[in-house]
Amino acid sequence: MKFFNSLLIIALLGLPLSTKELTTAETLPLGDANAGSNLVAQCAACHGAAGASINSDWPNLVGQGQQYLFSQLKYFQGGERENALMMAVVPYLKNLSDQQLLDIAAFYNSQPTSVGQAKDDQALLARGEWLYRSGDLNKGIPACTACHGLSGMGLEQAGFPAISGQQVSYLQTTLKNYRSKSRNTGEYASVMQTVAVNLTDADIEAVANYMHGLYSQ
């Protein structure tokens, strides 16, 4: 699995095989969504009772994939990923076991996905769709579909997050954080740093608007 993921990422990014090998988390045991539902009272204020946030700056957690959610919770717990608002719950996360973090990940992953509405601006939508589906070869931007899927559902087993319906302002902030390398937690972040390095602010606005309105049928 580990080997498979590494090769997959290298192939998708078109990187030569000599590039630093990327490793991913070992295949995880599954969490217990029911147990997780009892651990998230403090999270609802920002992420909603079922992981659908009500503020464009705060990420939805629904359906992002267990492995991805678990990895991010570990980063926050360990202080590697930092955010002023998440700081409030880091002491709480520090008291949780890996199994409890997995249970939280399972809970949010099991909740029904929320629906967003892309801005109805034809030029912006066209640019966003084109970038998402095809990338921009001349600028060295790979297609997002390669890893996040045509409808934005990600690739659960590989730990590639779903981005379908994600909050627009959060998407923009986090893509800019990858671009500036300030989001720098784990080897997967370096994949996204490579993806984001050549995106302009206008590209980010367009692709974020498209992802916010992207759903599987």
How far is it, in rounded angstroms, from Cα 70 to Cα 38? Answer: 16
Of 52, 124, 191, 206, the residue at the interface with ligand HEC (CB under 6 A) is: 191
Minimum CB distance to ligand HEC, residue 73 (Å): 5
- The verdict on 173 binding ligand HEC (CB under 6 A) reads yes
Q: Is residue 147 close enough to count as binding ligand HEC by CB under 6 A?
A: yes
Q: Which of 62, 124, 146, 153 binds ligand HEC (CB under 6 A)?
A: 146
Triad 134, 211, 4: Cα angle to 5°: 60
Among 62, 118, 206, 207, binds ligand HEC (CB under 6 A): 207
Q: Which of residues 85-144 bind ligand HEC (CB under 6 A)?
A: 85-86, 88-89, 92, 104, 131, 141-142, 144
CB atoms within 10 A of CB 22: 19
How far apart, in whole angstroms, are the C-alpha atoms of residue 200 and residue 204? 6
Of 27-35, 109-117, 118-126, 181-189, which part binds ligand HEC (CB under 6 A)? Answer: 181-189
What separation, in Å, do the N-terminal and C-terminal C-alpha atoms of the chain show?
29
**Backbone φ, ψ for residue 121 (5° rounding):** -125, 110
Angle at 183 between CA 214 and CA 55, to 5 degrees: 45
**Least CB distance to ligand HEC at residue 19 (A):** 12
Q: In the window 32-71, what residues touch ligand HEC (CB under 6 A)?
A: 40, 42-43, 45-47, 58-59, 61, 64, 69, 71
Cβ proximity to ligand HEC: between 92 and 215 the closer is 92
Handedness of CA 151, 25, 69, 177 (dihedral sign): negative
CA distance 126 to 132: 10
Shortest Cβ 57–ligand HEC spacing (Å) = 6
* DSSP string across 102-135: HHHHHHHHHSPPP-------HHHHHHHHHHHHH-
168 binds ligand HEC (CB under 6 A): no
Q: CA 77, CA 185: separation in Å to the nearest integer?
A: 12
What residue ranges bind ligand HEC (CB under 6 A)?
9, 12-13, 40, 42-43, 45-47, 58-59, 61, 64, 69, 71-73, 81, 83, 85-86, 88-89, 92, 104, 131, 141-142, 144, 146-148, 160-161, 163, 166, 171, 173-175, 186, 188-189, 191-192, 195, 207
